[in-house]
Amino acid sequence: MADGDQVAGRVIRVRLDETATESDIGALRKWLEREQGLDELVRAGTLRIHERRRTDETGAPMGVGMEIVVALVSAAATVGFNQLIVQVGRAVEAWRDNRREVEDGDPPEGRVEPVDLDG
């Protein structure tokens, strides 16, 4: 594992595009919480998944939009941060595929990215 790859306090932001509804955000958060691998980390207390108001790069609120935050909260986590980003990205794509099957219309596009807490 690379130096710093397993540091507590690392954060991943999941944003859906402007076509997303509040319902989409809630459904995706629940999907992530139940996703195999992520659910184990949540139950172990090493990962937290929650919704928050969207902000821009300066931290200023961006309208009424919401985003999902996946936070690695324990250095004891057995998953590397880069691996976690990939896993969350795959989970978002699986949610989009599922939503496409159960609802009319195209699902919102999703963006998964690490957040620089130092920046």
The strands making up 110-115's β-sheet, listed across from edge to edge, are 47-55, 61-72, 10-16, 110-115
| Residue 107: pLDDT over 90 | yes
CB 28 within 8 A of CB 93: no
As a residue count, the chain comes to 119
pTM: 0.80
Domain ranges of the chain: 11-115
pLDDT digits (tens, 9 = 90+) for 33-86: 999 999 999 998 889 999 987 766 655 545 546 889 999 886 655 568 889 999
The CATH number for 11-115, chosen from 3.10.129, 2.30.110, 3.30.70, 1.10.3470, is: 3.30.70
